[in-house]
Amino acid sequence: MLFYPPYDGPPLGAPLALLYLASPLRQVGFEVKVIDNFLTADYEQALLRESENALCLGISMLTGPQIAAAVRVARQVKRHRPSLPVVFGGWHPSLAVDQTLGEPFVDAIVRGQGELTFLELVQRIAEGQDWHGVRGLSFKDGGDIIHQPERPVANINDLPRPAYELVDHGIYAKHSGIRQLAYTTSVGCPYQCNYCTDQVFYKRRFNAYHVERVVNDLTELVPRYEIEDVPLFDSNFLVDRKRALAIARGIVDSGLTFRWDFQTSTDFLATMTEDEVRLLAESGVYHIGFGTESGSQEVLNLMNKRFQHLEQMVETARKADLAGIHVVFNIILGYPGETEEHRQQTFRFMSDIAKQYWNVSFSPNIFTPYPGIPIWPQLKKMGVHQPQSLEEWEPLALGVNVLPWLQGEELRRLKRSLEYFLLNNQLRKATKKIPWLRRNVRRALGAPIRWRIGKNRYSFPWELWVSRTVEKVVTRRSLLTGQALPKQTQEVC
């Protein structure tokens, strides 16, 4: 039994981690049940029912909201059938091993890449053998916690295709509104940003499928499951640009039409030619996410992002714009060492890019420290409280502020400048297609907003009051006509 706990937001296709884990198990004859809240609304009851005959329960977990349901379910199942091994895996348990294994309802943790370790463990359970010697596994033995040595990361070309056939993809489409197939062409990123744990998990090795495998998989799976959209879950898709372009060429040559998107860093896209970026678009790439993080080179250096330069962000926006690809620039605010001046630099720099290129949106967030990130020793010295139990990590959703240096008046100013930054971009987008409105709205609101961002002056925020009133009027009018409004995502604009 494999369980994917609910997270906030619509699904991004079926839970890929579980489909990856299921494949090698099914190849040697085990039956695998994938359970999540989208497939089974009464997932807690279903897990209790299924646990009667199960060999073990595997639970995947990220830091944040998934923890609550994972804990609840594991407790219930353990109470119901105490002898059933409960195994946790995924990013959170792998990065906070002792703390997670310290919980009474966890028997073992598969650290890092899971396919081979989990297969070996399940085989041992089925054969009634002990768990000593399973590389990559941490487990309880009586009162002791045993950590087996690390298992080297396997070449992903040697691992089977995820068991997509296990789930009904239409169910996820009902919730997200689009038929999606999550797919990974690579794991690992060669960089070492100080706030990211990819280096801990995948050891900085870019471990990627050969071009033929990706193209064959997609050309087979997309028509089979009537897929419209393929979000890639790679950490940094463009690390090998030649490979990425060959994949795009393969998709074009296949004659299939579907859209796909990925995340990568600006240094890779900026150094591609305009024609190469156009080829990505021609193959269906409609959106790319970038961890641009800051408009200050000093802050980027503090993050250990020396590989990324400001002019590359502009170049990325330009080339993607030419090709008709929408881009999201993620921004981290409040990183240790960032001053208010750095922050203003970021807002000014990003606003300037947005002024030139319509295709750019932003997703700004306050820095949230997750377990295992390399900068933790410095954070502790700076007074950040490190959660002391599994459940203390649960409220750490994106945007939660736990930074002692970003409180009070400074935090209020940050929030205000952020609101102005987002409003400026919303106005820009809202008035894009109507030139006369653009001219007038810009004169009335755009100029003062840009002045505020430039001068860092946010007292008497009349533009925000106006915008909120307009928003309310629009909402009321829509309710009157009975038209359902989508939920506003304030952070992405």
Residues lying near ligand SF4 in the complex (CB under 6 A): 189, 191-193, 196, 198, 235-236, 265, 291
Task: From the list ligand B12, ligand SF4, none, pick the one residue 8 interacts with, judged by a Cβ distance below 5 to 8 Å according to partner type.
Answer: ligand B12
Q: Which does 334 bind (CB under 5 to 8 A by kind): ligand SF4, ligand B12, none?
A: none
Q: Which does 236 bind (CB under 5 to 8 A by kind): ligand B12, ligand SF4, none?
A: ligand SF4
Beta-bridge partners for 361: 328
Which CB atom, from 103 or from 463, has the smaller least distance to ligand B12? 103
Element (H, E) at 289: strand 285-293
Q: Which of residues 103-132 bind ligand B12 (CB under 6 A)?
A: 110, 113-115, 118
**Cβ atoms of residues 155 and 202 within 8 Å:** no
Task: From the list ligand SF4, ligand B12, none, pick the one residue 191 interacts with, judged by a Cβ distance below 5 to 8 Å according to partner type.
Answer: ligand SF4
Under 8 Å between Cβ of 235 and 113: no
Q: Write the Ramachandran bin of 310: left for phi over 0, alpha for psi from -120 to 50, otherwise beta.
A: alpha
In the complex, what is the shortest distance from the CB of residue 251 to ligand SF4, in angstroms, rounded to a whole number? 24
Closer of 61 and 189 to ligand SF4 (Cβ):
189
Single-letter amino acid code for the residue at 404: P
Using CA atoms, how far apart are residues 108 and 105, in angstroms rounded to an integer?
10
Selected binder of ligand B12 within 39, 47, 74, 196 (CB under 6 A)? 196
Contact status: 206 vs ligand B12 (CB under 6 A): no
Residue 48's binding partner out of ligand SF4, ligand B12, none, with CB under 5 to 8 Å set by partner kind: none
**Cβ(15)–Cβ(34) below 8 Å:** yes
Cβ closest to ligand SF4, residue 236 vs residue 424 = 236
**End-to-end alpha carbon distance in the chain:** 39
> CB under 5 to 8 A by kind: which of ligand SF4, ligand B12, none does 291 bind?
ligand SF4
d(CA 437, CA 421): 20
Question: Count residues contacting ligand B12 (CB under 6 A)?
Answer: 42
Q: List Cα–Cα distances, 282 to 219, 274, 475, in angstroms.
A: 16, 12, 37
The residue sitting closest to ligand B12, measured at its beta carbon, is 89
> Do residues 210 and 161 lie in contact, with contact meaning Cβ atoms separated by under 8 Å?
no
Q: How far apart are CA 396 and CA 91, in angstroms?
A: 14
24/250 with CB nearer ligand B12:
24
Cα gap 60→87, rounded to integer Å? 9
Least CB distance to ligand B12 at residue 20 (A): 4
Q: What is the CA radius of gyration of the chain?
A: 24
Q: How many CB atoms lie within 10 A of CB 131?
A: 19
CB of 265 to ligand SF4, least distance (A): 5
Identify which of residues 198 and 229 has a Cβ nearer to ligand SF4 in the complex: 198
Question: What is d(CA 137, CA 123) in angstroms, rounded to the nearest whole number?
Answer: 14
Residues within the interface to ligand B12 (CB under 6 A): 7-9, 11-13, 15-17, 20-21, 58-60, 62-66, 87, 89-92, 95, 110, 113-115, 118, 182, 184, 196-198, 233, 235, 368, 370-371, 397-398
